[in-house]
Amino acid sequence: MTDPQALDRAACAARDTADPLAPLREQFDLPAGVNYLDGNSLGVLPRATAARVQDVVTQEWGQGLIRSWNSAGWIDLPRRVGDKIGRLVGAAPGELVVADSTSVNLFKVLSAAARIAQADDPARRVIVSERSNFPTDLYIAESVAAQHGMVLELHDIDAIPARLASGAGSDVAVLMLTQVNYRSGRMADMAAVTAQAHAAGALMLWDLAHSAGAVPVDLNGANADFAVGCGYKYLNGGPGAPAFCWAHPRHAERFWQPLSGWMGHAAPFVFEPGYRPAPGMQRYLCGTPPVIGASALECGVDAMLAAEPLGGMAALRTKSVALSELFIALVRQHLAGSGLTIHTPLDAAQRGSQVSLGVPADGSIDGYAVMQALIARGVIGDYRAGDGTAAEPHLLRFGFTPLYTRFVDVFDAIQALAEVLARGEWREARFMAKAAVT
Ligand SMILES: *Cc1c(COP(=O)(O)O)cnc(C)c1O
Protein backbone atom coordinates (compact mmCIF):
# COMPACT_ATOMS: atom_id res chain seq x y z
CA MET A 1 0.00 0.00 0.00
CA THR A 2 1.44 3.36 -1.01
CA ASP A 3 1.58 6.03 1.67
CA PRO A 4 -0.69 8.85 0.41
CA GLN A 5 1.54 11.41 2.17
CA ALA A 6 4.75 10.13 0.57
CA LEU A 7 6.26 12.42 -2.01
CA ASP A 8 8.04 9.92 -4.21
CA ARG A 9 7.20 9.31 -7.85
CA ALA A 10 5.33 6.07 -7.15
CA ALA A 11 3.01 7.89 -4.75
CA CYS A 12 2.35 10.56 -7.39
CA ALA A 13 1.61 7.88 -9.98
CA ALA A 14 -0.81 6.27 -7.52
CA ARG A 15 -2.60 9.57 -7.11
CA ASP A 16 -2.99 9.80 -10.88
CA THR A 17 -4.40 6.29 -11.00
CA ALA A 18 -6.93 7.17 -8.32
CA ASP A 19 -7.83 10.54 -9.87
CA PRO A 20 -11.41 10.55 -11.22
CA LEU A 21 -10.53 13.52 -13.47
CA ALA A 22 -7.56 11.75 -15.09
CA PRO A 23 -9.52 10.63 -18.21
CA LEU A 24 -10.13 14.30 -19.14
CA ARG A 25 -6.49 14.48 -20.25
CA GLU A 26 -7.38 12.21 -23.18
CA GLN A 27 -9.23 15.13 -24.73
CA PHE A 28 -5.95 16.88 -25.52
CA ASP A 29 -3.26 16.40 -28.09
CA LEU A 30 -0.15 16.83 -25.95
CA PRO A 31 3.27 16.58 -27.59
CA ALA A 32 5.32 13.55 -26.61
CA GLY A 33 8.18 14.26 -24.24
CA VAL A 34 6.77 17.58 -23.08
CA ASN A 35 5.72 18.32 -19.51
CA TYR A 36 3.61 21.40 -20.10
CA LEU A 37 3.18 23.73 -17.12
CA ASP A 38 2.40 26.89 -19.06
CA GLY A 39 -1.34 26.52 -19.67
CA ASN A 40 -1.76 29.76 -17.74
CA SER A 41 -0.11 31.53 -20.67
CA LEU A 42 -1.18 29.51 -23.72
CA GLY A 43 -3.49 26.53 -23.29
CA VAL A 44 -2.99 23.23 -25.12
CA LEU A 45 -4.69 21.85 -28.23
CA PRO A 46 -7.92 19.87 -27.72
CA ARG A 47 -8.11 16.83 -30.01
CA ALA A 48 -11.47 18.01 -31.34
CA THR A 49 -10.15 21.38 -32.52
CA ALA A 50 -8.27 20.44 -35.70
CA ALA A 51 -11.21 18.49 -37.15
CA ARG A 52 -13.66 21.18 -36.14
CA VAL A 53 -11.59 23.97 -37.67
CA GLN A 54 -11.12 21.90 -40.80
CA ASP A 55 -14.88 21.44 -41.03
CA VAL A 56 -15.51 25.14 -40.52
CA VAL A 57 -13.01 25.97 -43.25
CA THR A 58 -13.73 23.31 -45.86
CA GLN A 59 -17.46 22.73 -45.33
CA GLU A 60 -19.01 25.74 -43.68
CA TRP A 61 -16.87 28.30 -45.47
CA GLY A 62 -15.75 26.35 -48.55
CA GLN A 63 -19.11 24.81 -49.43
CA GLY A 64 -21.66 26.79 -47.45
CA LEU A 65 -20.13 30.18 -48.22
CA ILE A 66 -22.33 33.07 -47.15
CA ARG A 67 -25.25 30.77 -46.37
CA SER A 68 -23.32 29.54 -43.32
CA TRP A 69 -23.99 32.73 -41.41
CA ASN A 70 -27.41 31.21 -40.81
CA SER A 71 -27.21 27.52 -41.74
CA ALA A 72 -24.05 26.88 -39.68
CA GLY A 73 -25.03 29.30 -36.94
CA TRP A 74 -22.01 31.59 -37.40
CA ILE A 75 -24.01 34.65 -36.42
CA ASP A 76 -24.90 33.06 -33.05
CA LEU A 77 -21.32 32.09 -32.11
CA PRO A 78 -20.58 35.07 -29.82
CA ARG A 79 -23.63 34.30 -27.74
CA ARG A 80 -23.53 30.51 -27.99
CA VAL A 81 -19.91 30.22 -26.85
CA GLY A 82 -20.54 33.06 -24.38
CA ASP A 83 -23.34 31.08 -22.73
CA LYS A 84 -20.99 28.10 -22.34
CA ILE A 85 -18.29 30.25 -20.73
CA GLY A 86 -21.02 31.74 -18.56
CA ARG A 87 -21.51 28.30 -16.99
CA LEU A 88 -17.89 28.44 -15.80
CA VAL A 89 -18.01 31.94 -14.31
CA GLY A 90 -21.50 32.30 -12.85
CA ALA A 91 -23.12 34.28 -15.68
CA ALA A 92 -26.66 33.49 -16.81
CA PRO A 93 -27.46 32.74 -20.47
CA GLY A 94 -27.32 35.90 -22.58
CA GLU A 95 -25.18 37.82 -20.09
CA LEU A 96 -21.74 37.07 -21.53
CA VAL A 97 -20.49 37.44 -25.10
CA VAL A 98 -17.37 36.30 -26.91
CA ALA A 99 -15.66 39.01 -28.97
CA ASP A 100 -12.41 40.83 -29.67
CA SER A 101 -9.37 40.53 -27.39
CA THR A 102 -9.22 40.93 -23.62
CA SER A 103 -7.65 44.37 -24.06
CA VAL A 104 -10.45 45.57 -26.37
CA ASN A 105 -13.15 44.12 -24.13
CA LEU A 106 -11.61 45.86 -21.15
CA PHE A 107 -11.78 49.13 -23.05
CA LYS A 108 -15.48 48.56 -23.74
CA VAL A 109 -16.58 47.60 -20.24
CA LEU A 110 -14.32 50.05 -18.41
CA SER A 111 -15.63 52.87 -20.60
CA ALA A 112 -19.20 51.84 -19.80
CA ALA A 113 -18.36 51.66 -16.09
CA ALA A 114 -16.76 55.11 -16.21
CA ARG A 115 -19.86 56.59 -17.86
CA ILE A 116 -22.20 54.97 -15.34
CA ALA A 117 -20.11 56.15 -12.40
CA GLN A 118 -19.90 59.68 -13.81
CA ALA A 119 -23.64 59.85 -14.50
CA ASP A 120 -24.47 58.71 -10.98
CA ASP A 121 -21.91 60.92 -9.20
CA PRO A 122 -19.68 63.32 -11.18
CA ALA A 123 -17.40 63.67 -8.14
CA ARG A 124 -16.16 60.13 -8.69
CA ARG A 125 -13.17 60.62 -10.93
CA VAL A 126 -10.70 57.91 -9.92
CA ILE A 127 -10.13 54.48 -11.44
CA VAL A 128 -8.21 52.35 -8.94
CA SER A 129 -6.15 49.31 -9.86
CA GLU A 130 -3.26 47.20 -8.64
CA ARG A 131 0.24 48.40 -9.46
CA SER A 132 1.36 44.91 -10.50
CA ASN A 133 -1.71 44.26 -12.65
CA PHE A 134 -1.00 42.93 -16.14
CA PRO A 135 0.32 45.94 -18.08
CA THR A 136 -2.24 45.90 -20.91
CA ASP A 137 -4.99 46.39 -18.30
CA LEU A 138 -3.18 49.42 -16.94
CA TYR A 139 -2.49 50.85 -20.40
CA ILE A 140 -6.16 50.52 -21.36
CA ALA A 141 -7.25 52.06 -18.05
CA GLU A 142 -4.89 54.99 -18.65
CA SER A 143 -6.61 55.66 -21.94
CA VAL A 144 -10.15 55.30 -20.56
CA ALA A 145 -9.29 57.61 -17.65
CA ALA A 146 -7.92 60.26 -20.04
CA GLN A 147 -11.03 60.09 -22.23
CA HIS A 148 -13.38 60.54 -19.29
CA GLY A 149 -11.45 63.23 -17.45
CA MET A 150 -10.57 60.71 -14.76
CA VAL A 151 -7.31 59.65 -13.16
CA LEU A 152 -5.86 56.17 -12.84
CA GLU A 153 -4.48 55.45 -9.39
CA LEU A 154 -2.28 52.41 -8.76
CA HIS A 155 -1.81 50.83 -5.35
CA ASP A 156 -0.26 47.74 -3.86
CA ILE A 157 -3.03 45.19 -3.49
CA ASP A 158 -2.88 45.29 0.32
CA ALA A 159 -3.36 49.08 0.35
CA ILE A 160 -6.61 48.99 -1.63
CA PRO A 161 -9.01 48.25 1.28
CA ALA A 162 -7.77 51.39 3.11
CA ARG A 163 -8.13 53.43 -0.09
CA LEU A 164 -11.82 52.48 -0.14
CA ALA A 165 -12.72 52.37 3.56
CA SER A 166 -14.54 54.87 5.77
CA GLY A 167 -15.22 57.65 3.30
CA ALA A 168 -11.77 57.58 1.67
CA GLY A 169 -13.31 55.99 -1.41
CA SER A 170 -15.91 58.68 -2.10
CA ASP A 171 -13.98 59.80 -5.20
CA VAL A 172 -13.53 56.29 -6.61
CA ALA A 173 -15.54 55.49 -9.74
CA VAL A 174 -14.29 51.98 -10.55
CA LEU A 175 -12.08 49.40 -8.90
CA MET A 176 -10.53 47.28 -11.66
CA LEU A 177 -8.58 44.18 -10.65
CA THR A 178 -7.37 40.94 -12.15
CA GLN A 179 -8.65 38.31 -9.75
CA VAL A 180 -5.53 36.15 -9.99
CA ASN A 181 -2.33 38.16 -10.37
CA TYR A 182 -0.34 36.97 -13.39
CA ARG A 183 3.00 37.23 -11.58
CA SER A 184 2.39 36.10 -8.02
CA GLY A 185 -0.61 33.83 -8.65
CA ARG A 186 -2.29 35.54 -5.68
CA MET A 187 -6.10 35.33 -5.85
CA ALA A 188 -8.49 37.94 -4.52
CA ASP A 189 -11.72 36.99 -2.76
CA MET A 190 -14.16 38.17 -5.41
CA ALA A 191 -17.22 38.50 -3.18
CA ALA A 192 -15.36 40.26 -0.36
CA VAL A 193 -13.51 42.75 -2.58
CA THR A 194 -16.65 43.48 -4.60
CA ALA A 195 -18.47 44.21 -1.33
CA GLN A 196 -15.66 46.61 -0.30
CA ALA A 197 -15.93 48.45 -3.61
CA HIS A 198 -19.71 48.70 -3.33
CA ALA A 199 -19.52 49.87 0.28
CA ALA A 200 -17.39 52.76 -1.03
CA GLY A 201 -19.95 53.43 -3.76
CA ALA A 202 -17.60 52.27 -6.54
CA LEU A 203 -18.22 49.85 -9.38
CA MET A 204 -16.26 46.58 -9.48
CA LEU A 205 -14.68 45.28 -12.68
CA TRP A 206 -12.89 41.91 -12.71
CA ASP A 207 -10.39 40.60 -15.23
CA LEU A 208 -10.75 36.81 -15.21
CA ALA A 209 -7.77 36.08 -17.50
CA HIS A 210 -6.23 33.74 -14.91
CA SER A 211 -9.55 32.67 -13.34
CA ALA A 212 -11.87 31.45 -16.09
CA GLY A 213 -11.38 27.71 -16.31
CA ALA A 214 -8.83 27.82 -13.48
CA VAL A 215 -10.89 28.48 -10.37
CA PRO A 216 -14.63 28.53 -9.63
CA VAL A 217 -16.03 32.01 -10.31
CA ASP A 218 -19.52 33.26 -9.52
CA LEU A 219 -19.95 36.74 -11.00
CA ASN A 220 -23.63 37.02 -10.10
CA GLY A 221 -23.10 35.46 -6.69
CA ALA A 222 -20.41 38.05 -5.96
CA ASN A 223 -22.67 40.80 -7.33
CA ALA A 224 -19.84 42.08 -9.56
CA ASP A 225 -20.54 44.85 -12.08
CA PHE A 226 -18.38 44.02 -15.11
CA ALA A 227 -15.90 41.35 -16.17
CA VAL A 228 -13.60 40.41 -19.02
CA GLY A 229 -11.56 37.28 -19.64
CA CYS A 230 -9.20 35.51 -21.99
CA GLY A 231 -9.90 32.61 -24.37
CA TYR A 232 -6.41 31.23 -24.94
CA LYS A 233 -5.21 30.52 -21.41
CA TYR A 234 -7.10 28.01 -19.25
CA LEU A 235 -9.95 27.83 -21.80
CA ASN A 236 -7.61 26.31 -24.42
CA GLY A 237 -9.10 28.33 -27.29
CA GLY A 238 -5.83 28.61 -29.24
CA PRO A 239 -3.42 31.47 -29.91
CA GLY A 240 -5.24 34.78 -30.23
CA ALA A 241 -8.60 33.18 -29.41
CA PRO A 242 -11.39 35.71 -28.96
CA ALA A 243 -11.97 36.90 -25.41
CA PHE A 244 -15.20 37.60 -23.52
CA CYS A 245 -17.00 40.30 -21.60
CA TRP A 246 -19.86 40.39 -19.13
CA ALA A 247 -21.97 43.11 -17.56
CA HIS A 248 -24.39 42.64 -14.73
CA PRO A 249 -27.92 42.87 -16.20
CA ARG A 250 -28.52 46.04 -14.15
CA HIS A 251 -25.84 47.77 -16.25
CA ALA A 252 -26.00 46.05 -19.63
CA GLU A 253 -28.42 48.51 -21.21
CA ARG A 254 -27.53 51.72 -19.41
CA PHE A 255 -25.15 53.04 -22.04
CA TRP A 256 -23.65 52.20 -25.37
CA GLN A 257 -20.16 50.92 -25.12
CA PRO A 258 -17.91 53.21 -27.19
CA LEU A 259 -17.09 50.77 -30.02
CA SER A 260 -20.56 51.06 -31.54
CA GLY A 261 -20.10 48.70 -34.48
CA TRP A 262 -22.83 47.15 -36.57
CA MET A 263 -22.85 43.76 -34.81
CA GLY A 264 -23.92 45.60 -31.66
CA HIS A 265 -26.73 47.37 -33.53
CA ALA A 266 -30.34 46.47 -32.78
CA ALA A 267 -30.89 45.55 -36.45
CA PRO A 268 -27.50 45.09 -38.17
CA PHE A 269 -29.00 43.88 -41.44
CA VAL A 270 -31.38 46.80 -41.83
CA PHE A 271 -28.35 48.98 -42.65
CA GLU A 272 -29.66 52.19 -41.08
CA PRO A 273 -27.40 55.23 -41.00
CA GLY A 274 -27.88 55.78 -37.25
CA TYR A 275 -26.76 53.59 -34.34
CA ARG A 276 -29.37 51.94 -32.15
CA PRO A 277 -27.83 49.61 -29.56
CA ALA A 278 -29.01 46.01 -29.47
CA PRO A 279 -30.73 44.85 -26.29
CA GLY A 280 -28.62 43.38 -23.49
CA MET A 281 -25.03 42.23 -24.00
CA GLN A 282 -25.41 41.95 -27.76
CA ARG A 283 -24.50 45.66 -27.85
CA TYR A 284 -21.02 44.77 -26.58
CA LEU A 285 -20.24 43.20 -29.94
CA CYS A 286 -18.50 45.46 -32.42
CA GLY A 287 -17.66 43.94 -35.81
CA THR A 288 -18.05 40.59 -37.56
CA PRO A 289 -17.33 37.67 -35.22
CA PRO A 290 -14.05 35.75 -35.79
CA VAL A 291 -15.77 32.53 -36.91
CA ILE A 292 -12.75 30.26 -37.15
CA GLY A 293 -11.28 31.44 -33.86
CA ALA A 294 -14.60 31.31 -32.02
CA SER A 295 -15.20 27.78 -33.33
CA ALA A 296 -11.79 26.69 -31.99
CA LEU A 297 -12.55 28.38 -28.68
CA GLU A 298 -15.81 26.45 -28.45
CA CYS A 299 -13.83 23.19 -28.62
CA GLY A 300 -11.67 24.36 -25.71
CA VAL A 301 -14.68 25.37 -23.65
CA ASP A 302 -16.45 22.08 -24.45
CA ALA A 303 -13.38 20.19 -23.19
CA MET A 304 -13.73 22.07 -19.92
CA LEU A 305 -17.48 21.51 -19.70
CA ALA A 306 -16.79 17.78 -20.10
CA ALA A 307 -15.79 17.97 -16.43
CA GLU A 308 -19.36 18.87 -15.41
CA PRO A 309 -20.52 15.25 -14.85
CA LEU A 310 -17.36 14.72 -12.75
CA GLY A 311 -18.01 17.64 -10.44
CA GLY A 312 -17.17 20.55 -12.75
CA MET A 313 -15.11 23.53 -11.64
CA ALA A 314 -15.34 22.53 -7.96
CA ALA A 315 -13.72 19.18 -8.68
CA LEU A 316 -11.14 20.80 -10.97
CA ARG A 317 -10.33 23.28 -8.21
CA THR A 318 -9.81 20.50 -5.68
CA LYS A 319 -7.33 18.88 -8.04
CA SER A 320 -5.66 22.19 -8.87
CA VAL A 321 -5.09 22.86 -5.16
CA ALA A 322 -3.74 19.34 -4.68
CA LEU A 323 -1.31 19.88 -7.59
CA SER A 324 -0.05 23.22 -6.29
CA GLU A 325 0.22 21.89 -2.70
CA LEU A 326 2.28 18.99 -4.02
CA PHE A 327 4.50 21.39 -5.97
CA ILE A 328 5.09 23.53 -2.87
CA ALA A 329 5.83 20.49 -0.71
CA LEU A 330 8.34 19.22 -3.28
CA VAL A 331 9.99 22.64 -3.56
CA ARG A 332 10.52 22.56 0.21
CA GLN A 333 11.87 19.03 0.10
CA HIS A 334 14.16 19.27 -2.93
CA LEU A 335 14.98 22.96 -3.40
CA ALA A 336 15.32 24.11 0.22
CA GLY A 337 18.95 25.23 -0.13
CA SER A 338 18.68 26.45 -3.71
CA GLY A 339 17.95 30.11 -3.00
CA LEU A 340 14.64 29.96 -4.85
CA THR A 341 11.69 31.26 -2.82
CA ILE A 342 7.96 30.58 -3.07
CA HIS A 343 6.42 33.83 -4.30
CA THR A 344 2.80 32.62 -4.29
CA PRO A 345 0.56 32.63 -1.18
CA LEU A 346 0.94 29.44 0.85
CA ASP A 347 -2.73 29.62 1.81
CA ALA A 348 -4.50 27.75 -1.00
CA ALA A 349 -7.56 29.99 -0.63
CA GLN A 350 -5.43 32.92 -1.79
CA ARG A 351 -3.83 31.10 -4.69
CA GLY A 352 -5.00 30.70 -8.28
CA SER A 353 -3.78 27.74 -10.32
CA GLN A 354 -0.10 28.61 -10.57
CA VAL A 355 2.95 28.75 -8.33
CA SER A 356 5.75 31.24 -8.94
CA LEU A 357 9.26 30.77 -7.63
CA GLY A 358 11.32 33.87 -6.88
CA VAL A 359 14.91 34.03 -8.07
CA PRO A 360 17.36 35.26 -5.38
CA ALA A 361 17.88 39.02 -5.38
CA ASP A 362 21.68 38.65 -5.20
CA GLY A 363 21.83 37.58 -8.83
CA SER A 364 23.42 34.20 -8.00
CA ILE A 365 20.94 32.43 -10.28
CA ASP A 366 19.93 33.58 -13.78
CA GLY A 367 16.21 32.73 -13.82
CA TYR A 368 15.88 33.15 -17.56
CA ALA A 369 18.67 30.65 -18.15
CA VAL A 370 17.19 28.21 -15.61
CA MET A 371 13.91 28.23 -17.54
CA GLN A 372 15.77 27.74 -20.83
CA ALA A 373 17.54 24.72 -19.33
CA LEU A 374 14.22 23.33 -18.06
CA ILE A 375 12.63 23.79 -21.47
CA ALA A 376 15.59 21.97 -23.03
CA ARG A 377 14.61 19.06 -20.76
CA GLY A 378 10.99 19.24 -21.96
CA VAL A 379 9.59 20.97 -18.87
CA ILE A 380 7.81 24.09 -20.07
CA GLY A 381 7.00 26.85 -17.60
CA ASP A 382 7.89 30.46 -18.16
CA TYR A 383 10.04 33.27 -16.86
CA ARG A 384 8.84 36.74 -15.94
CA ALA A 385 11.37 39.42 -15.07
CA GLY A 386 10.71 41.64 -12.07
CA ASP A 387 12.87 44.47 -10.80
CA GLY A 388 15.03 41.84 -9.10
CA THR A 389 14.29 42.91 -5.52
CA ALA A 390 12.91 40.58 -2.88
CA ALA A 391 9.51 42.32 -3.23
CA GLU A 392 9.35 42.01 -7.04
CA PRO A 393 11.72 39.16 -7.85
CA HIS A 394 12.39 37.64 -11.24
CA LEU A 395 10.01 34.67 -11.40
CA LEU A 396 9.84 31.12 -12.67
CA ARG A 397 6.11 30.49 -13.23
CA PHE A 398 4.46 27.08 -13.26
CA GLY A 399 0.78 26.73 -14.16
CA PHE A 400 -1.29 23.71 -13.14
CA THR A 401 -4.18 22.91 -15.40
CA PRO A 402 -6.19 20.15 -13.76
CA LEU A 403 -7.80 19.09 -17.02
CA TYR A 404 -4.50 17.56 -18.11
CA THR A 405 -1.68 18.11 -15.58
CA ARG A 406 -0.82 14.93 -13.69
CA PHE A 407 0.72 14.52 -10.25
CA VAL A 408 3.74 12.82 -11.85
CA ASP A 409 4.18 15.91 -14.06
CA VAL A 410 4.60 18.01 -10.92
CA PHE A 411 7.06 15.49 -9.50
CA ASP A 412 9.09 15.31 -12.71
CA ALA A 413 9.22 19.10 -13.03
CA ILE A 414 10.73 19.49 -9.57
CA GLN A 415 13.24 16.71 -10.24
CA ALA A 416 14.29 18.45 -13.44
CA LEU A 417 14.54 21.83 -11.73
CA ALA A 418 16.62 20.36 -8.88
CA GLU A 419 19.00 18.75 -11.38
CA VAL A 420 19.30 21.91 -13.49
CA LEU A 421 20.31 23.82 -10.36
CA ALA A 422 22.53 21.12 -8.84
CA ARG A 423 24.45 20.50 -12.05
CA GLY A 424 24.64 24.15 -13.03
CA GLU A 425 23.05 23.30 -16.38
CA TRP A 426 21.60 26.76 -16.51
CA ARG A 427 25.04 28.33 -16.87
CA GLU A 428 25.38 26.50 -20.16
CA ALA A 429 21.80 27.35 -21.15
CA ARG A 430 22.55 31.00 -20.47
CA PHE A 431 25.56 30.83 -22.74
CA MET A 432 23.54 29.14 -25.49
CA ALA A 433 20.62 31.54 -25.16
CA LYS A 434 22.94 34.51 -25.38
CA ALA A 435 24.70 32.99 -28.39
CA ALA A 436 21.39 32.40 -30.12
CA VAL A 437 20.43 36.06 -30.13
CA THR A 438 23.72 37.37 -31.46
C1 LIG B 1 -3.36 37.40 -20.74
C2 LIG B 1 -3.94 38.65 -20.21
C3 LIG B 1 -4.45 39.62 -21.07
C4 LIG B 1 -4.34 39.42 -22.55
O5 LIG B 1 -4.84 40.48 -23.27
P6 LIG B 1 -4.90 40.38 -24.87
O7 LIG B 1 -5.75 41.50 -25.26
O8 LIG B 1 -5.45 39.03 -25.21
O9 LIG B 1 -3.51 40.47 -25.39
C10 LIG B 1 -5.03 40.75 -20.52
N11 LIG B 1 -5.09 40.90 -19.18
C12 LIG B 1 -4.60 39.99 -18.32
C13 LIG B 1 -4.68 40.22 -16.86
C14 LIG B 1 -4.00 38.84 -18.81
O15 LIG B 1 -3.49 37.94 -17.98
d(CA 353, CA 370): 22
Q: Whose CA is nearest to atom 13 of ligand 1?
A: 134
Flag whether 211 is in a domain. Answer: yes
How far is ligand 1, taken at its centre, from the CA of residue 162, in Å? 27
Mutate to test the pocket of ligand 1, among 107, 110, 133, 136 (most ligand atoms within 8 A of CB): 136
How far is ligand 1, taken at its centre, from the CA of residue 211, in Å? 12
Given a cut of 80, whether residue 433 has pLDDT beyond it is no
Residue 74 annotated as lining a ligand binding site: no
In whole numbers, what is the pLDDT of the chain averaged over residues? 95
Q: Are residues 323 and 294 in the same domain?
A: no
Q: Are residues 290 and 340 in the same domain?
A: no
Q: Whose CA is nearest to atom 15 of ligand 1?
A: 209
Domain end marker among 305, 332, 356:
305
At 417, which CATH number? 3.90.1150.10
Enumerate the active-site residues: 134, 207, 232-233, 397
Q: Whose CA is nearest to atom 1 of ligand 1?
A: 209
pLDDT for 434 equals 53
Residue 398 annotated as lining a ligand binding site: no
pLDDT for 437 equals 43
Of the candidates 348, 305, 304, 69, which has an alpha carbon nearest to the alpha carbon of residue 185? 348
**Cα→Cα distances 272→204, 266, 269, 277, 314, Å:** 35, 10, 8, 12, 47
Q: What is the tally of structural domains in the chain?
A: 2
Given a cut of 80, whether residue 120 has pLDDT beyond it is yes
Q: Are residues 358 and 378 in the same domain?
A: yes
Given a cut of 60, whether residue 435 has pLDDT beyond it is no
Flag whether 64 is in a domain. Answer: no
d(CA 261, CA 265): 7
Query: By three-state DSSP, how is residue 135 classified?
Result: helix
Flag whether 52 is in a domain. Answer: no
Q: Which residues, in sequence order, are CB contacts of 105 under 8 Å at separation 6+?
A: 99, 228, 243, 244, 245, 284
Mean pLDDT in residue range 16-41:
98
Given a cut of 50, whether residue 30 has pLDDT beyond it is yes
What tens digit of pLDDT does each residue of 152-199 get?
999 999 999 999 998 999 999 999 999 999 999 999 999 999 999 999
Given a cut of 70, whether residue 212 has pLDDT beyond it is yes
Flag whether 214 is in a domain. Answer: yes
Domain end marker among 305, 334, 351:
305
Provide the residue range defining the domain that includes 18.
4-46+312-437
Largest CA distance in the chain: 74
Q: Are residues 317 and 301 in the same domain?
A: no
Given a cut of 50, whether residue 37 has pLDDT beyond it is yes
Atom of ligand 1 nearest to the CA of 41: 1
Flag whether 68 is in a domain. Answer: no
How far is ligand 1, taken at its centre, from the CA of residue 273, in Å? 34
Q: Are residues 234 and 96 in the same domain?
A: yes
User: DSSP letters of 354-382?
Assistant: EEEEEPPTTS-S-HHHHHHHHHHTTEE-E
CB-CB neighbours of 288 under 10 Å: 13
What tens digit of pLDDT does each residue of 261-284 get?
999 999 999 999 999 999 999 999
At 136, which CATH number? 3.40.640.10
d(CA 414, CA 398): 11
Domain end marker among 252, 276, 305:
305
What tens digit of pLDDT does each residue of 218-245 get?
999 999 999 999 999 999 999 999 999 9
Flag whether 65 is in a domain. Answer: no
pTM: 0.96
